[in-house]
Amino acid sequence: MEIEFGDLEETRPEVRLRPDENKHYAVVPVFEPTDDDLPIFVDLDSLADMEEHALTDTSVELGGVMLGGQYEDEQGRAFVVITDSLRAKHYESTKGSFKFTHDTWSEISRERDEFPDDLQIVGWYHTHPDWGVFLSGMDMFICDNFFNKRLDVALVIDPCRQDRGLFQWTGDAAERIRRTGGFYVTASRFRQDELAQFAAQLEGKFDMVQDPRFRGASPPAPVVNISGEQPAWQSMAILGMLAIQACLVAVIAARLLWPPETSSEELRQMAALQQSIEQLAATRTAAADSRAQVEVLDRFLSAQHGTPEGVLQDLVEKTKTNTNLQDSLHGQVAFNEVLSESEAKLKRELQSSTDRGKYLEDRVASLTKSLDELKKKNANLQGDLAVATSPDGSTDADGADPEEGVSKWTMIGVGSAVAVLIAAGVAFAVAGNKKHDLDFDESSEETSKEANTE
């Protein structure tokens, strides 16, 4: 034996309130704990961590230690509380065995020192992948030498068969350690629903897909409980959605089973593309053949005396450079021709624009001259109108003869005015003669009357 054990003195457990009597905790039993079993209360998060550790590798056994406290209640009944766990490292394990080593205990002791003093090692756990839940001879050796106190416990998990169980000391020589009928899972009272669901999954009442121990997996889909009668519109909506989905599936199936016919234009484009690909492949093959021929000739020339190595390759490179320069020169010549044509076209457009501008200038001068003549004619007409409306018929301010340049209509207007004046004078004269004759007749009658009287 590499490990030596001294005498251990067991202290009396501390008196504390049991979790199932503490209103701060929610407690749910797993399986069926009996009155003869040692009450073991396991924290929900700690148990979930150990279950997750068991699922990380099912090809070998895994294990670790459990932290917590060993207590008695006021009536002197013992119970164990497990609140945390430490995974074992540097261990030796196979498909059917698990061993603690010196390095394992050193690492566990170092990690244990980082926890408060009230968290003590109260037992150990390990896995039996696809072997069932029991304690083997090596497991009993670990219990006898490392976890042999009266309230020490052991947890065995079979991640393949989804079974687990806690073992306790009995104090009976015939059956020193036995499996309990069940244990309790505890958590804060605010996590009552989560605690009940976890306990039900540990008992195999739900599928492992919804197992909360799979922390890396996505959360399970929520369960919706529907009670009561559904409205009629909801059934119609569901039927409509199913009909739409069926139509979409039918369309997709039709597209897959009967692909659309390719038009002649698409066939022609595909043929042209295929031809281009074949030409490109032929060009690459010819280029590869040319390079191979050049390498063979280069090696042949290099083998001759006085011929430097790589002369043919240099010649090919210079030929390529010369060809590229000639192509560039031809391109430059073509570009110069395009520039010359563009320059000639611009000159023709400039000449056309110049001629057009000269024509517009001549047109503007002609229109200006016509405008001046119209202004002169307008001035003459205004002068004629002023002479025609003058009462004395005198000349205008410039001394010009008013009769010169008088239009026909002006003469007609003047003549009409003169005729009206003459007619008015004749009428006035005739009226005056008639009055004179009337006055003369009256005077003659009065003279005749006077003569007769005398």
DSSP string, 18-83: -GGG-TTEEEEEEE---TTSPPEEEEHHHHHHHHHHHHS-SSS--EEEEEEEEEE-TT--EEEEEE
Q: What percent of the chain has pLDDT over 70?
A: 73
With H, G, I as helix, E, B as strand and everything else as coil, classify residue 184: strand
Q: How confident is the model at residue 278 (pLDDT cuts 50, 70, 90)?
A: confident
- The answer, yes or no, to whether residue 330 has pLDDT greater than 60, is yes
Cβ atoms of 15 and 74 closer than 8 Å: yes
Identify whether the C-beta of residue 61 lies closer than 8 Å to the C-beta of residue 92.
no
pLDDT greater at residue 206 or residue 80: 80
| pLDDT confidence tier of residue 391, bands split at 50, 70 and 90 | low
Helix/strand/coil for 12:
coil
Most confident of 185-189, 415-419, 446-450: 185-189
Question: Contact 46/66 with Cβ under 8 angstroms?
Answer: yes
Burial 301-323 (b: 16+ CB within 10 A, else e): beeeeeeeeeebbeebeeeeeee
H-type alpha helices, 70-135: 102-112
**Residue, of 85 and 429, whose pLDDT is higher:** 85
- Spatial distance between the Cα atoms of 91 and 61, rounded to a whole number of angstroms: 10
Query: pLDDT at position 32, please?
Result: 94
Q: Does residue 453 surpass a pLDDT of 50?
A: no
Single out the residue of 40, 45, 21, 18 nearest to residue 29, CA to CA. 40
Cα–Cα dist 195/203, whole Å: 13
pLDDT at 223 over 50: no
Using H for helix, E for strand and C for coil, what is the string for 279-324? HHHHHHHHHHHHHHHHHHHHHHHHHCCCCCCCHHHHHHHHHHHHHH
CA distance 314 to 321: 10
What the block records as the tokens of 29 is 């039993």
pLDDT at 315: 73
Closest CA to 64 of 34, 107, 17: 107
Residues 6+ apart with CB under 8 A from 45: 187
In this prediction, residue 424 carries a pLDDT of 61
Residues 15 and 58: their CA atoms lie apart, in Å, by 40
How far is it, in rounded angstroms, from Cα 89 to Cα 219? 30
Task: Kindly report, residue by residue over 86-140, the tens digit of the pLDDT.
Answer: 999 988 888 888 999 999 999 999 999 999 999 999 999 999 999 999 999 999 9
What average pLDDT does this structure show over 288-317? 68
Distances in whole angstroms, Cα of residue 178 to Cα of each of 78, 182, 351: 17, 12, 118
Q: Name the amino acid, one letter, at 253.
A: A
Residue 182: beta bridge partners? 31
Task: Give me the mean pLDDT over the 359-366 stretch.
Answer: 84
Of the ranges 42-56, 250-264, 279-293, which one carries the lowest mean pLDDT score?
250-264
**Residue pLDDT, tens place only, 188-212:** 999 999 999 999 999 887 654 445 4
Residue 259 exposure: Cα atoms within 13 Å on the Cβ side? 2
CA distance 34 to 262: 78
To the nearest whole number, what is the mean pLDDT of the chain?
Answer: 79
Q: 390 falls in which pLDDT band (50, 70, 90)?
A: low
Closest CA to 58 of 199, 134, 157: 157
Radius of gyration of the chain (CA): 65
> How many Cβ atoms sit within 10 Å of the Cβ of residue 208?
11
User: Residue 235 above 60 pLDDT?
Assistant: yes
The pLDDT value given to residue 452:
46
Distance CA 167, CA 140 (A): 11
Q: How far is residue 173's CA from residue 37's CA, in Å, rounded to a whole number?
A: 17
pLDDT band at 331 (very low <50, low <70, confident <90, very high): confident
**pLDDT at residue 374 tops 70:** yes
- pLDDT confidence tier of residue 440, bands split at 50, 70 and 90: very low
Q: Is 50 exceeded by the pLDDT of residue 444?
A: no
Query: Does 447 score more than 90 pLDDT?
Result: no
- Dist CA 317 CA 33 (whole Å): 92
**pTM of structure:** 0.47
Q: Tell me the C-alpha distance between 16 and 23, whole Å.
A: 14
**pLDDT of 217 above 60:** no
Identify the bridge partners of residue 159 per DSSP, sorted by sequence position: none
Q: What is the pLDDT of residues 136-156, one digit of tens each?
A: 999 999 999 999 999 999 999
The 8-class DSSP code of residue 82 comes to E
Cα–chain-centroid distance for residue 1?
66
